[in-house]
Amino acid sequence: MRKKTRALSDEALSLVARRFAILSEPMRLRLLHSLVNGEKSVNTLVESTGGTQANVSRHLQTLADAGLVKRRKEGLQVFYSVADPSIFDLCELVCGSLEKQLAQRASIFG
């Protein structure tokens, strides 16, 4: 081994960045959160998130393309479910970090 940590390959970096980008949209986070207790149909998700049908569908497509959710068709309806539970670990880590930051800021201001 020459360099212990050689320059990260552009591809690897792009993959990781892309994964974070998928999670950088409030509506997609909302959808994932709605799916935390199991699969739901698109219509159910539309109602629980308050988004338009078109927008919800597109975001679900994005999540599915990234492999974060799974699609299951049953008759007229399509059910989506979380394919990669590690997403929630990610969100918890971020939330914890944000809480720490807010707590610090709060202590600064009083």
Among 47, 61, 93, 103, binds its own copies (CB under 8 A): 93
DSSP 28: H
Binding site for DNA (CB under 7 A): 21, 24-27, 41-43, 46, 51-55, 57-62, 71, 73, 75-79
* Whole-angstrom distance, CA of residue 65 vs CA of residue 56: 14
Task: State in angstroms the smallest separation of the CB of 28 from DNA.
Answer: 7
Distances (CA, A) of 16 to 26, 51, 61: 19, 27, 19
Contacts of 21 (CB under 8 A, 6+ apart): none
Task: Kindly report the three-state secondary structure assignment for every residue of 50-99.
Answer: CCCHHHHHHHHHHHHHCCCEEEEEECCEEEEEECCCHHHHHHHHHHHHHH
Task: State in angstroms the smallest separation of the CB of 110 from its own copies.
Answer: 18
Q: Which of its own copies, DNA, none binds 90 (CB below 5-8 Å, type-dependent)?
A: its own copies
In the region spanning residues 52 to 81, those forming contacts with its own copies, defined by CB under 8 A, are: 67
Q: Under the criterion CB under 8 A, does residue 21 sit at the interface with its own copies?
A: yes
Q: Which of its own copies, DNA, none binds 16 (CB below 5-8 Å, type-dependent)?
A: its own copies
Among 33, 42, 62, 71, binds its own copies (CB under 8 A): 33
